[in-house]
Structure formats: structure tokens, C-alpha cells
């Protein structure tokens, strides 16, 4: 039996030997390769999508077909495809570069959006739990580590899932967990900026698993941890969160008596994941993974003891005995903590960096550079209120022009993360007074926002050309900054319609780039697309594959690349 893809077809079942549907005449071999073997759920006209098992030259895969023409649903479907194409993890279904396409059935004007992905064998955890007992402590820790590893990759690529629950997790026969249904996935900055700008953000709701902030359209990566905590309560108790009682004052789930096999430290950690305030949940995978071992749980117990009132009272007496010698120790220890924190910051180990920098601030609260570095750590953790507070404290504590320029530049980046381009421009302009690398970097970002936000291309070109002519900078040491300046120069020329100058600047940006950044490749592709689309293709390919550096405009260009490469 082979099925017809046409949702309006009156009889979608066909014998295996037919090339076209016997009822509506639609091709049965989709895109010349996929045969629809069977629906994986009931074909219902009220569903936005149909889901089929398909055969691809002997390999079974899954085909999702979006039937609805609503622009927001199409956008979500495209985002799901793009996300799965760029992620590579055994716990995430694989989608090939040609796995997203559109198809128009015979005698129909309706465009169907199609997504072909890896077929995951196994049961989803909701079905698995109906046939098995609640999971043990060891199994809980093993599964938590697997799923936190998946979310770590997802969040690092600046996406979050928004619909974690047992039915969206499959247990493969080899014990590997796979997170599925990325139809609700959102990109972190676009969701935040859209909300700030007043744009409606699609709300996803799954009873018992959805965190309160997501109901208001304010989901964040921490929302995934809430849903994951609720998922594990279900797996450890055998009861859905909606069937468990809640504390009448706090609203917290009362579940521990239903899971006696779970130790108190692990239960405490699950409750922390389900905290009502996102700021009280783990910030990232690094906050969770260290505790998912026996040793980690013992450390958790020790930390609870250290924070107890009795322990603090006992230690208070000892502190009194040694306080006279502390003044000799503070300056050296503050500097040591600061240097270690900065080293961790440079390595990208943000949690460790923040811990050391907070220690340094406690010992040397008037050091502007430590405040600035701590602000940067907070910014990397997306704790923007903390970052802004530390940057403002740093400005109050220094008159050094270079340090102040650095802080203004960092605040500019913070406002840009908020989606406030005007304030970001103001701060970048203040940082431009520096005559060194910070000033040049600030000029580059100021010019970029003049292109993106103000469409003031002539000003951007003039600023960039003047910066590139500076002889006081060691351009060999900052080749990537020079590359970025040429990229923005090319972008401004492109917006003016000067394709020749644009291509020349952008190719220089590519030559200088050492980090495989996507932006210049995307823009070269744009300059070539109309005049020579064949020559544009390899640039679109690199545009899609290389790093966006979390710039929203580049991520939009990568979506353009995805569309052009599918044609």
C-alpha cells in the first residue's frame, strides 16, 4: 500500500505498483525518491500536519507535511527544519540538507511544506512508562545526563525547545534518548527581541509541563529546564504532573512521597529545576551536570550543611580569631581570583569565571575592571540586569578612558541584545573615543547598526574607511576585526547598489577571516544571486554552514541560504 500526499484526495490509499494516485492523479513518488508507506497518526483534516513513514531507497524515514497556509505556522515549520539541519547529536533526529522542500499536488494551488527526517525506533517515554515501573535513581541520573547534554547543544546554538514532555522523548533499543518534535523551537534572541518590540510570540502549552512565563509568551532556555523537571517527576512517580497535588501556599508540586526511591539531594535539584521564577532555576547545563554523579550528590549534601544556620554559627567563632590577619591576605587573594576569573572567561567557562570574579569583588569592591569583567560574565549567562548593574558600577569607579570605553562598548552590546538599537548606537559612539582596538571595534559595530537600523550607508562607509586607514593599530594582530570592517563595508556598498565595490570588499573580508564566519559569504552570495546564481551557490553553502556569531541579521541571511539551496 502506498499513500497519496494530497490532503484533499478522497481516497489516499493506492496499490504499490502505481506511479500516480488512482483518485486525484498526484505523483506518488515525492521528489523522485520518497514513497509514503503509512501514516504515523490518524489522517485528520483538523490537524495542521500529516505525518508519514516513508521509504527512501530502502531506508525508512519520517515525513511531516504542513497543510496550513498560515504564515506563522510556515515560519515555525521552516525554523524546525533549519534547526534540525544545523544540529548534529545522536539525541536529535537528523535532517539532510535537501530534507526540507515544498510540493504542489495535481490540480491544486496549495503548496505543501515537507520535512523528511531520520526515523527513530523505540517508544516515547509516555508509552514506555505505561508498560514499566517508575524509574530508579540511577536511571534518572543517566537519563538526565543524556537530556541535559542534548539541551546543552541546543542552547549553545541559541535555540530552545519549548515543548519538553515524556511523549516528545524516544527511548531507542540501545538506551539512547532522542528529543523529538522541534516544531515549537525558538531562536533565543529573536524571541526576546520580538517580545521587546511588541511582536506577538507564539505560545506553546502542554498541561503540567509548561512553565508559567511561557504562558505569557516569555519563554527562555530556563523554561526547558522547568519542563524537564516536570518530565522527571512524571517518570519518577508514574503520575502526570496534572494529577499530583500542589502546596496551597507555594503552588509547588507535592511529589516526593510518590518517589521514595529518589534521594533528597536529587529531589532538591529536581525542585530547583521547577522553580517558578526562571532566575531560581539552573542557568545552563554546567549548573546541572556536576551533580549527576554519586560524588556530585554528596557535594550537594555538603553544600546544604555548609549553608545551614548551625554550621554558620560554629564558623563565626573561628572567623573572629583570624580576622586580624585577613587585611594582609585580601589584596593578593582578590587579584588571584580576578586573574583566574578572567582566564575562565577567556576559555568560555562562564560559571567558574563568575564564581572567581564574585570572590574578587567581595575582596576588592572598588575595582572597576573586576566589575566590568563580572558584567561580561553575567551577560554571557543572559542575566542582563546583573550585567547592566556591574557595568554601571564599573563606570562609577574609574576615570581611565580606555577602561570607560571598554565598559561603554560592553553596555552597547547589552542594549543590542535587548533589541534597543538606538541605545546601543549611543554607547558604541561613546566607546569610539578610544584610539586603540576598543575604539576601532566600537566604530565597526556603530557602522553596522547605521547600516542595519538607520540605513545611513554613506556614514557607515566613511567611518569604516577612516578606521581601516589608521596606522596606530597592529592589523596583523587583529586581522578578524579588519575582516569584519571589510564585511560591513561590503554590506553598505551592497545596500547602495554598488555591487562591484561590495564584492571587492567582501572577498577581502573572506581572505582575512580566520574564524569561518558566515556573514561575508552570505553577502557575496547576495551580490551574485541576480547576475550569476550558479556562482552564488558555493557562497550560500558556506553562509549556511559557517558561524553566524549570533548576529540576528546573519541568521536571517542563513535562512535565505536555506531557501536558495533548496531551489
How do the pLDDT tens digits run along the chain, 567 residues long? 899 999 999 999 999 999 999 999 999 999 999 999 999 888 988 888 899 999 999 999 999 999 988 887 888 888 888 888 888 888 988 988 889 999 999 988 889 999 999 999 999 999 999 999 999 988 998 899 899 888 888 877 777 677 889 999 999 998 999 998 876 655 554 333 344 333 444 444 456 787 776 666 666 778 888 999 999 999 999 999 888 888 877 778 899 999 999 888 888 888 888 888 887 888 777 667 766 765 555 555 555 544 555 455 555 554 444 444 444 444 557 778 888 888 888 777 888 889 999 998 888 898 888 999 899 888 888 888 899 999 999 999 888 888 899 899 999 988 887 778 899 999 999 999 988 888 999 999 999 999 999 999 999 999 999 999 887 777 777 888 999 999 999 999 999 999 999 999 999 999 998 888 999 999 999 999 999 999 999 999 999 888 887 787 888 898 888 888 876
Task: For helices 137-156 and 221-237, give the axis angle rounded to 10 degrees.
Answer: 160
How many CB atoms are located within 10 Å of the residue 25 CB? Answer: 13
163 noted as active-site residue: yes
* Residue 54 grid cell: 516513508
CA 328 to chain centre: 45
467-475: list long-range contacts, CB under 8 Å, 24+ apart. 467/440, 467/443, 470/440, 472/435, 472/436, 473/436, 473/437, 473/440
Which grid coordinates belong to 326?
585577613
CA dist., res. 184 & res. 179, Å (int): 12
**CA 90, chain centre distance (Å):** 18
Dist. CA 383–CA 376, nearest whole Å = 10
For the full predicted model, state whether its pTM sits above 0.85.
Answer: no
Q: What is the pLDDT of residue 408?
A: 92
C-alpha to C-alpha distances, 18 to 23, 25, 28, 65, 258, nearest whole angstrom: 11, 10, 8, 21, 55
Burial of 54 (0-12, 13-18, 19+ CB in 10 A): buried
CA distances from residue 512 to 306, 387, 472, 475, 545 in whole angstroms, order as listed: 52, 32, 19, 10, 18
Q: Are 520 and 513 in contact (CB under 8 A)?
A: yes
N-term to C-term CA, the chain: 30
Cell of 180: 523529538
| Angle between helices 479-496 and 437-449 in degrees, nearest 10 | 20
- Output the pLDDT for position 204: 44
Is residue 446 within 8 Å of residue 463, measured between CB atoms? yes
Residue among 50, 163, 434, 562 flagged as catalytic: 163
Residue 369 is predicted with a pLDDT of 87
Q: What is the pLDDT of residue 287?
A: 67
Q: 536529535: which residue's cell?
A: 92
Instruction: Report DSSP letters for 475-522, one per residue.
Output: TTTTHHHHHHHHHHHHHHHHHHT-HHHHHHHHHHHHHH-SS-BSHHHH
Q: State the pLDDT at residue 28.
A: 96
Amino acid at each position: 500500500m502506498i499513500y497519496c500526499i494530497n490532503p484533499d484526495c478522497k481516497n489516499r490509499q493506492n496499490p504499490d505498483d502505481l506511479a500516480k494516485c488512482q483518485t486525484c492523479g498526484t505523483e506518488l513518488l515525492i521528489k523522485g525518491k520518497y514513497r509514503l508507506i503509512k501514516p504515523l497518526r490518524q489522517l485528520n483534516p483538523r490537524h495542521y500536519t500529516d505525518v508519514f513513514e516513508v521509504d527512501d531507497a530502502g531506508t525508512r524515514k519520517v515525513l511531516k507535511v504542513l497543510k496550513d497556509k498560515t504564515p506563522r505556522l510556515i515560519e515555525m515549520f521552516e525554523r524546525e527544519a533549519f534547526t534540525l539541519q544545523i544540529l548534529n547529536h545522536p539525541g536529535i533526529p537528523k535532517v539532510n540538507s535537501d530534507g526540507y522542500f515544498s510540493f504542489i499536488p495535481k490540480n491544486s494551488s496549495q503548496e505543501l511544506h515537507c520535512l523528511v527526517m531520520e526515523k527513530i525506533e523505540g517508544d516515547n517515554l509516555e508509552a514506555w512508562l505505561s508498560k514499566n515501573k517508575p524509574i530508579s535513581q540511577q536511571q534518572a541520573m543517566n537519563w538526565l545526563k543524556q537530556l541535559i547534554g542534548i539541551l546543552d547543544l541546543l542552547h549553545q546554538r541559541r535555540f530552545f525547545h519549548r515543548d519538553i514532555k515524556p511523549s516528545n522523548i524516544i527511548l531507542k533499543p540501545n538506551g539512547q534518548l532522542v528529543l523529538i518534535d522541534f516544531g515549537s523551537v525558538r531562536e533565543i534572541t529573536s524571541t526576546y527581541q520580538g517580545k521587546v518590540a511588541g511582536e506577538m510570540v507564539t505560545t506553546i502549552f502542554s498541561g503540567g509541563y509548561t512553565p508559567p512565563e511561557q504562558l505569557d509568551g516569555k519563554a527562555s532556555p530556563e523554561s526547558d529546564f522547568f519542563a524537564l523537571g516536570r518530565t522527571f517527576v512524571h517518570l519518577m512517580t508514574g503520575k502526570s504532573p496534572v494529577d499530583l497535588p500542589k502546596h496551597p501556599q507555594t503552588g509547588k508540586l507535592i511529589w516526593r512521597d510518590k518517589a521514595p526511591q529518589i534521594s533528597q539531594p536529587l529531589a532538591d535539584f529536581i525542585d530547583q529545576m521547577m522553580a517558578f521564577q526562571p532566575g531560581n532555576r539552573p542557568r545552563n547545563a554546567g549548573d546541572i551536570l556536576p551533580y549527576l554523579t554519586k560524588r556530585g550528590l554528596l557535594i550537594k549534601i555538603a553544600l546544604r550543611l555548609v549553608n545551614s544556620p548551625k554550621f554558620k554559627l560554629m564558623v563565626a567563632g573561628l572567623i573572629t580569631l583570624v580576622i586580624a590577619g585577613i587585611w594582609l591576605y585580601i589584596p593578593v587573594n582578590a587579584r588571584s581570583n580576578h586573574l583566574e576569573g578572567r582566564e575562565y572567561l577567556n576559555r568560555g567557562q562562564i560559571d567558574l569565571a563568575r564564581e572567581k570574579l564574585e570572590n574578587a569583588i567581595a575582596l576588592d569592591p572598588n575595582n572597576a575592571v573586576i566589575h566590568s569583567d563580572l558584567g561580561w560574565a553575567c551577560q554571557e549567562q543572559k542575566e542582563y540586569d546583573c550585567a547592566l548593574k556591574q557595568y554601571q558600577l564599573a563606570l562609577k569607579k574609574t576615570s581611565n578612558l580606555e577602561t570607560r570605553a571598554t565598559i561603554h562598548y560592553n553596555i552597547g552590546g547589552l542594549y543590542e541584545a535587548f533589541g534597543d538599537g538606538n541605545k546601543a548606537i549611543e554607547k558604541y559612539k561613546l566607546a569610539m573615543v578610544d584610539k586603540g582596538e576598543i575604539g576601532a571595534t566600537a566604530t565597526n559595530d556603530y557602522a553596522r547598526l547605521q547600516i542595519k537600523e538607520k540605513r545611513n550607508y554613506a556614514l557607515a562607509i566613511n567611518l569604516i574607511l577612516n578606521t581601516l586607514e589608521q596606522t596606530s593599530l597592529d592589523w596583523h594582530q587583529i586581522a578578524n576585526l579588519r575582516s569584519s570592517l571589510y564585511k560591513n563595508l561590503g554590506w553598505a556598498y551592497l545596500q547602495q547598489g554598488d555591487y562591484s565595490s561590495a564584492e571587492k570588499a567582501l572577498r577581502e573580508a573572506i581572505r582575512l577571516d580566520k574564524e569561518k564566519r558566515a556573514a561575508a559569504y552570505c553577502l557575496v552570495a547576495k551580490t551574485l544571486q541576480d547576475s550569476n546564481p550558479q556562482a552564488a551557490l558555493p557562497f550560500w553553502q558556506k553562509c549556511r554552514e559557517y558561524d553566524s556569531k549570533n548576529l540576528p541579521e546573519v541568521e536571517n541571511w542563513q535562512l535565505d541560504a536555506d531557501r536558495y539551496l533548496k531551489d
